[in-house]
Amino acid sequence: MCFRMSSTPVLTLKNVEFSYKKSHQAQFTLHIDHVFYEWGHKYAIIGPNGSGKTTLLYLLSGIILPQIGELLYEGTAIKPTTKILDMFPIVDIIIEKYRSAVEIANLYALVRGQNVHEVTNRMKEIAEQLDIKHVLKKPFSKCSSGEIKLASVIIGLSLNPKILIIDEPHQAVDPRRQDIVTQLLNEYVAAPHDKKMLIFTSHHLRSITEFSNVTIQLILDGRIVGQFSNEAVKKGLVVIQIPQNKLSSPNSYTFTEHAITVKKLADRTVFILTYESYESFKHEIEALTDKVTMVHNLEDLKEIYA
């Protein structure tokens, strides 16, 4: 799926494929036809576990490179030797369990040519907002999963990169601090003219709708199948399953112009719409099927389109 550009993209994936074998499962392949990311924007990549969200983050951050196709940074193809100091990915592999958040941030600051004292001070300020200063000097091996996630967010924000990439920023974090994390990330990319960008993943729609001006990309079975604004999904997504014998001429139905075709199976076709679009075409849809499911947790999609 290709999306329209409004300016020169910062990161672009073109005709990308990346395959790997999941344990005890068939080979999984991520397919990206053409997708791009621009300065001044926040992007949420959503989908159930195993849909390819984290693999896409690894590709965008250059941790892994496409087996087929290209990853471009401001129009230039990224190669194994390319270093993008403008970018900082917060993914599980950056955590060294015997080091503390301060130690890791200081190491990254030195590599990036930043002032260690300034980075440490920013860490203290952010940790104070999150009421979790005690975690800064605590080895990750002694931290809970929630503390590790918060410490990782603190590291990323304190380094103040132009591009911040975070895998599940709310995972294992208590509700009060989830709200503060959202506020901090909203402030990180505050306006479209900012030369900054945030990319993160989630499988909960409700947590994403608290972000301002975020573009949501839905990934299923290794493909980005649709793109939404956070306003459009505030009331959730709706999955409809229509028997094939009712869709002999799908183009004759108005709702299909506003729906994403997720999967065509032998007996049915699965579509996804925003709740508002569903409400607009409710009578047309109900004449075709009674298999209509509201979705807020993307994990529910696994059962629906399997």
Residue range 247-255: mean pLDDT, rounded = 73
User: What CATH code is assigned to 237-305?
Assistant: 3.30.70
Residue 93: which pLDDT band, with cuts at 50, 70 and 90?
Answer: very low
Q: Which of 236, 272, 196 is nearest to 43 (CA)?
A: 196
Q: At what angle do helices 101-111 and 116-129 cross, to 10 degrees?
A: 140
Q: Which of 60, 119, 55, 57 is nearest to 84 (CA)?
A: 60
Considering 2-6, 15-19, 71-75, the range whose residues carry the highest mean pLDDT is 15-19
Exposed e or buried b per residue across 56-80, where buried means at least 16 C-beta atoms within 10 angstroms of its C-beta: bbbbbbbeebbeebebebeeeebee
Residue range 219-243: mean pLDDT, rounded = 91
pLDDT for residue 218 is more than 80: yes
Instruction: Mention the CATH class of domain 1-84+162-234.
Output: alpha beta
Which residues face 30 on adjacent strands?
18
Burial label, 156 (beta-carbon count in 10 A; 0-12, 13-18, 19+): buried
3-class SS shares of the chain: helix, strand, coil, % to 5: 35, 30, 35
pLDDT for residue 248 is more than 80: no
The residue ranges of every structural domain in the chain are 1-84+162-234, 87-160, 237-305
Neighbours of 193 (CB within 10 A): 7
